Structure 1
Amino acid sequence: MKQNSEKSNNYLDKIPIRTEHILWSVEENGLVTLDVENKGIFHRFAQRFFHKPKVSHIHLDPMGSFVWCLIDGSRDILSLSALVKEQFGEEASPLYERLSRYFHILNSYGFITFKK
């Protein structure tokens, strides 16, 4: 029983899921752009008085775009890392640290959640 709970706490075993409210598109060059609507009182204030945009466009780099397109709610981070290594080779090093940080950032901004 203890072994199962330890395995479920491993970050690489987590399964990322894209949140539904994030719109995204793939450009002709294969790069992904996330379109994030800026909601809330602070954002409305900034839009009105500081001419900030209603939608922010977040452009992902080649590796981030590759990973974003692979997120399907069934692959865990470890499976995704094998595909990234196959695609990018040594360019992805240090692989696990980079992917862990990438998913942590996506999660902190609410772009993904993890399957429970």
Structure 2
Amino acid sequence: MKKKNENFLEFVPVRSEKVDWEIKGENVVLIVYRNSFIDKLVRRFFNTPEKMTIDLDEIGSTVWQAIDGKRNIYEISQIVKMKIGKNAEPLLERLITFINILKNNDFIKLLKKKG
């Protein structure tokens, strides 16, 4: 049976090297290049773009910029709380959902913090 007592907030998100990003105005734009074999095939037949851009909102931008490969999810939540305050509430629920979306799309990996 798998252990269930690991605290999600202790994991450290690490950005994928496959995702570039830039700051436009005050928010982050993620840039995902579609250059796998399948992506190239799909592009050839369906004229899809070579890259995909994703505009993050204020909270997403704050989270993305706080991901440095050293801070855990709890520490990132404190940065968001400090910068955005009550507008980020319900903070932990929103943060966990966003982190899971990033992970499920391979934009980040989650590592255990070495203690």
Shift of 1:41: 4.0
* Aligned partner of 1:38 among 23, 34, 37: 34
Instruction: Give structure 1 regions of 4+ aligned residues with deviation exceeding 6 angstroms.
Output: none
* Aligned partner of 1:56 among 52, 56, 63: 52
Shift of 1:22: 1.2
Shift of 1:33: 1.1
Question: How many pairs were matched up?
Answer: 109
- The 5 A counterparts of 1:1-12 are 6=5, 9-12=6-9
1:108 maps to 2:98 = no
> What stretches of structure 2 of length at least 5 have no aligned partner?
none
Query: Equivalent residue of 1:23, what SS?
Result: strand
Matched AA of 1:49: F
Distance in 2 separating the partners of 1:96 and 1:66? 14
What corresponds to 1:97 in structure 2? 93
Moved more, 36-45 or 50-59: 36-45
More strand by share: 2
Shift of 1:76: 0.8
> What stretches of structure 1 of length at least 5 have no aligned partner?
none
Moved more, 42-51 or 9-18: 42-51
1:13 maps to 2:13 = no
Distance in 2 separating the partners of 1:109 and 1:55? 15
- The 5 A counterparts of 1:60-99 are 60-99=56-95
Give aligned-pair identity as a percent.
37
* TM-score normalized with structure 2 length: 0.86
Superposition RMSD on alpha carbons, in Å? 1.5
More helix by share: 1
Distance in 1 separating the partners of 2:36 and 2:80? 36
